[in-house]
Amino acid sequence: MAEGVLFSQECIKLAHLLADAAAKITSKYFRSSSLSVEMKVDETPVTLADKETEKVLRELINKHFPCHGIIGEELGNENLDAEYVWVLDPIDGTLSFVNGVPLFTTLIGVLQNGKPWLGLIDQPILKD
């Protein structure tokens, strides 16, 4: 099999692993009475679940592809000059998440040289 195909398969496999890891964390916090909510500078909510999920996703990316970059909704950016840059929004729809509405998603994307190359949307509570 060609090297490019193997690399693509590894990225897809990692994207699914990231979605599964995010689902495990967000499911733990969903509808939890102990969920703390803060407001970001832009007046949108952020929770411990957002931050913890992104931290774990970053660790997994760095373990599998240490030379790749990351753009993160909650924890900032790193290595943006890399050929491949992962784009993470651990909980897209935090307001729904906070209010116990299962219509939030985890967004995972990969840019190659600044252009969309791979994308995955996961609804962990709806298992879709």
* Separation between Cα atoms, residue 75 and residue 55, nearest integer Å: 8
pLDDT at 117: 96
pLDDT at 16: 98
Spans of all domains in the chain: 3-122
Digit-by-digit pLDDT tens for the chain (128 residues) are 456 778 899 999 999 999 999 999 999 999 998 888 999 898 889 999 999 999 999 999 999 999 999 999 999 999 999 999 999 999 999 999 999 999 999 999 999 999 999 999 999 999 87
- Across 1-20, b (16+ Cβ under 10 Å) vs e yields eeeeeeeeeebeebbeebbe
pLDDT at 1: 46
pLDDT at 7: 86
Architecture of domain 3-122: 2-Layer Sandwich (3.30)
CB 48 within 8 A of CB 57: no
Q: Is the pTM above the cut of 0.85?
A: yes
DSSP 63-94: HH-TT-EEEETTTEEE-TTSSEEEEEEEEETH
